[in-house]
Amino acid sequence: MAAEDGFVETVDRAAEEGRTPFYERARERNLAPLWRVLGGLVTEEPRSPAVPAHWAYSDVRPYLIEACDLISTEEAERRVLVFENPGLPGQSRITPSLFAGYQIIRPGEVAPAHRHVASALRFILEGKDAYTAVAGERTMMEPGDFVITPSWTWHDHGNESDELMVWIDGLDMHMVNLVSASFREGYPGRSHPVTRPEGAAMAEVGFNLVPVDFETTSQTSPIFNYPYRRTREALEMVSRTRAPDACHAFKMHYINPLNGKSAIPTITTAMQLLPKGFRSSSYKSTAGTVFSVVEGKGSVTVGDMRFQLAPKDLFVAPSWFPIQFEAESDLILFSYSDRIVQDKLDLFRESRGDA
Ligand SMILES: [Fe+2]
């Protein structure tokens, strides 16, 4: 047992004052007593410093528009407003391990090419006919599309349409930084040259076929755009052929078709459909999860917070906070979490129902 402040409960607090000179001498040697902090280091249950939070798109969008007038993509490199978890201010974290932001590009703008070890996902909210280019191949993006920029691949974004383009950026840089493995490089030029036709990656691996002797050294899916119309169709079909899961209704993970594993090796990504009238059983897991509402209306309760949901809203359920949904209409949610990392390290736990 441990006290909230980290002291081991059996420590005699009255005796601690007499130990102070020892602690001070130890500190001079960069040594510290474990018995004063152990309770906070090895907790009985997950104790996330993140809190449940919700951002209504109608509240956030005006800030994105204002940012467009204040700074160019050239000056900012990426014009992104970061979702800061209220429990983790100033850290660019929506959970301890995950980054989330809204990126906006105006017609005619280019977000210049660069590459980094951190992997990124884009989830498209608004606009169409803007592109993301990855390693010389462009993909045009539409709302609901899930786009990957794999670790250490050149990527840039451009908007050749006459509409604003807004998407969610999700990155694993906090995990990369935890193990001090970050590298980043700017491309010597605004855009990386286009070397492959659009759709090349999808043709190679996106139809349950693969070229003979196809080789890749990356664990990331070679498909870097999972179009929403195909995802939607799969969910729709699955909802007609399977019974809904009590906690998730119909929830499917995005996978790398070459190995059946997570599309991104550090971030689990999923899309789920909760049919109109569905009320989920309470669920909690150690994987803090970021959700984006794609379609429909409903509400979610995370811990003791209840949020009304509308399309393009974003909310977060930190590790071990119970989550429960009510769908007023067919509700479709995109989500991402660090579950895949926890799975690989035998850390993931979940609890279904009210227990
Ligand atoms: Fe990037």
Contact 209, 201 (CB under 8 A): no
Distance from the alpha carbon of residue 66 to the mean position of ligand 1, in angstroms: 22
Distance from the alpha carbon of residue 123 to the mean position of ligand 1, in angstroms: 14
Residue 343 in tokens: 């799975």
Helix or strand (DSSP H, E) at 55: strand 53-55
**DSSP letter assigned to residue 2:** B
Distance from the alpha carbon of residue 264 to the mean position of ligand 1, in angstroms: 15
Distance from the alpha carbon of residue 201 to the mean position of ligand 1, in angstroms: 20
Q: Which pLDDT value is given to residue 1?
A: 42
pLDDT tens-place string over residues 252-273 = 999 999 999 999 999 999 999 9
pLDDT beneath 70: ranges in the chain: 1-4, 354-355
Distance from the alpha carbon of residue 224 to the mean position of ligand 1, in angstroms: 14
Distance from the alpha carbon of residue 131 to the mean position of ligand 1, in angstroms: 14
Q: Which pLDDT value is given to residue 243?
A: 97
Distance from the alpha carbon of residue 183 to the mean position of ligand 1, in angstroms: 12
Distance from the alpha carbon of residue 155 to the mean position of ligand 1, in angstroms: 7
Distance from the alpha carbon of residue 112 to the mean position of ligand 1, in angstroms: 9
Distance from the alpha carbon of residue 173 to the mean position of ligand 1, in angstroms: 11
Contact 141, 130 (CB under 8 A): yes
Distance from the alpha carbon of residue 235 to the mean position of ligand 1, in angstroms: 30
Q: Within 13 Å, how many C-alpha atoms sit on residue 344's CB side? A: 11
Task: Tell me the CA distances in angstroms from 52 to 41, 47, 320, one per residue in order.
Answer: 22, 13, 11
Contacts of 338 (CB under 8 A, 6+ apart): 95, 97, 98, 172, 175, 266, 267, 268, 287, 288
CB atoms within 10 A of CB 157: 25
Distance from the alpha carbon of residue 150 to the mean position of ligand 1, in angstroms: 9
Q: Which pLDDT value is given to residue 129?
A: 86
Q: Which pLDDT value is given to residue 3?
A: 47
Q: Which pLDDT value is given to residue 189?
A: 81
The label of the residue with tokens 């691996």 reads 205
Distance from the alpha carbon of residue 157 to the mean position of ligand 1, in angstroms: 9
Contacts of 343 (CB under 8 A, 6+ apart): none
Q: Which pLDDT value is given to residue 278?
A: 98
Q: Within 13 Å, how many C-alpha atoms sit on residue 45's CB side? A: 7
